[in-house]
Amino acid sequence: MWIHCILTKAEKFGKERILPACFVCGILADKTSLNNKTDMAYTPFTPLQQLIIERIQREGPLTFAEYMRMALYEPNYGYYMTGSTRIGFEGADFFTSTDVSATLFANCLGRQLHQWWEKLGYRTPFVILEQGAGRGNLARGIQEWAAQQDTGFQAALVYRLEDIGRGQDAFLAEKSDANAEPVPFVILSNELVDAFPVHIVEAHDARLYEIYVDVEAGRLREVRGEPSTAEVAAYLDTYHIPWTLFGDGWRAEINLAALRWIRRTAHLLRRGYILAIDYGDKARALYTRYRRHGTLACYFQHQLNERPLARPGEQDITAHVNFSALINEGRLQGLRLHKYTTQRLWLESLGIHEELERRRLSDFAESVTARASDRGQVALLQWYDLRQRAAALTDPNGMGNFKVLILRRN
């Protein structure tokens, strides 16, 4: 999810924590709330909060991952299940690359898919599966690009969309849709994996604890306990993270659902590519002593907060993606690492700047030839707008630092 408050997302560039401030609106997050471990400020309860409290009273504390699963995916109540997922600018909680420019982003992806279509021998149907497709903007943009550029490609293209909001869960391993549908040659997602529920671990006295959600005086609060599974306990060691040296209170998120997702997704692919775009890093860059509080972030009406226990079901909750985990698990599933790069370099390799120049000369020619006229002025402003959108998509301190992972099966 991308919101105004990009500085916090760019925490990785700084030491420790940069006080979250928005590069667009300059709003500072309320620092006093950042470490507030008990949700005391929000009344009345959301219906989902009530449901969670009752479950904890019945069954005992939940892992944070189970809490997050309920907050995002609980049928009828979860943030992604109620249609309240608000993506975009006005009245939304966050925006994505397709909101910044559906055409520039989709056109680059269109060129990428076209290259793969050629490489795979012009297969028909050329099935693309987009997971976590949201409003389908990317699919529309790619289909429009195909219609303009190559009608043969357009005719071959079969574009399937899945989203949890439509009941299609991208990490349910039980699904056997590989047999039910034509097999995809490309499975892609933009900002999907960051939404999967994460476990949270915290170091104390060189021991690793897990964070659970409990109820105290009728309110949700965090408590520490032993790791819920051996997999959680061993996760950081798998990536050789020297977490025992990071001091008391150091935190990290562990996304086991991402492993399940890549296993299932790899299973769906017989030949072709998996492309995942998201914010995050390789493990050694993600889990550092400087990022003491982890990367968990909540989004509500374009404001970043770090109060995941507030408003369950009404705000988005995300965490940066550990790309090493996807690469390693992909390899175990027989996939090869094709490319791991930044969104900036990936878009540049797919000609975003050349497209910009072409469009300046074609769509906005009047900004040069008739600059003194009203039409010339409008063209100039529209050109500035498009140029700004390309800059946002490739900004090395913002979306340009998103990672693009491409795995392939030959």
Ligand X SMILES: C[S@@+](CC[C@H](N)C(=O)[O-])C[C@H]1O[C@@H](n2cnc3c(N)ncnc32)[C@H](O)[C@@H]1O
Q: What is the spatial distance between Cα 379 and Cα 101, in angstroms, rounded to a whole number?
A: 17
Site stretch for ligand X (CB under 6 A), options 178-186, 187-195, 224-232, 282-290? 187-195
Q: Which is nearer to ligand X, 210 or 316 (CB)?
A: 316
Task: Specify the DSSP class assigned to residue 310.
Answer: S
Rule CB under 6 A: is residue 101 a binding residue for ligand X? no
Task: Enumerate residues 28-57 that contact ligand X by CB under 6 A.
Answer: none
Rule CB under 6 A: is residue 394 a binding residue for ligand X? no
Q: What is the spatial distance between Cα 110 and Cα 355, in angstroms, rounded to a whole number?
A: 13
CB 58 within 8 A of CB 38: no
Q: Which helix (H) or strand (E) holds 405?
A: strand 403-409
H helix intervals, 60-203: 64-73, 97-100, 102-119, 137-149, 151-156, 177-180
Output the smallest distance, CB 149 to ligand X, in A: 22
Rule CB under 6 A: is residue 276 a binding residue for ligand X? no
Q: Pick from 8, 49, 63, 85: which binds ligand X (CB under 6 A)?
A: 85
Rule CB under 6 A: is residue 314 a binding residue for ligand X? no
Rule CB under 6 A: is residue 315 a binding residue for ligand X? no
Q: Pick from 10, 56, 170, 187: which binds ligand X (CB under 6 A)?
A: 170
Output the smallest distance, CB 71 to ligand X, in A: 12
3-state secondary structure string, 245-282? HCCCCCEEEECHHHHHHHHHHHHHCCCEEEEEEECEEC
Residue 308 tokens, joined? 């995941």
Site stretch for ligand X (CB under 6 A), options 157-165, 263-271, 367-375, 397-405? 157-165
Q: Which is nearer to ligand X, 69 or 292 (CB)?
A: 69
How many residues bind ligand X (CB under 6 A)? The answer is: 23
Angle at 52 between CA 49 and CA 54, to 5 degrees: 110
Task: Specify the DSSP class assigned to residue 397.
Answer: T
Site stretch for ligand X (CB under 6 A), options 5-13, 163-171, 302-310, 394-402? 163-171
Q: What is the spatial distance between Cα 175 and Cα 154, in angstroms, rounded to a whole number?
A: 29
Rule CB under 6 A: is residue 96 a binding residue for ligand X? yes
- Which residues of this protein are in contact with ligand X, per CB under 6 A? 1, 80, 85, 87, 96, 98, 131-134, 137, 162-165, 168-171, 190-192, 195
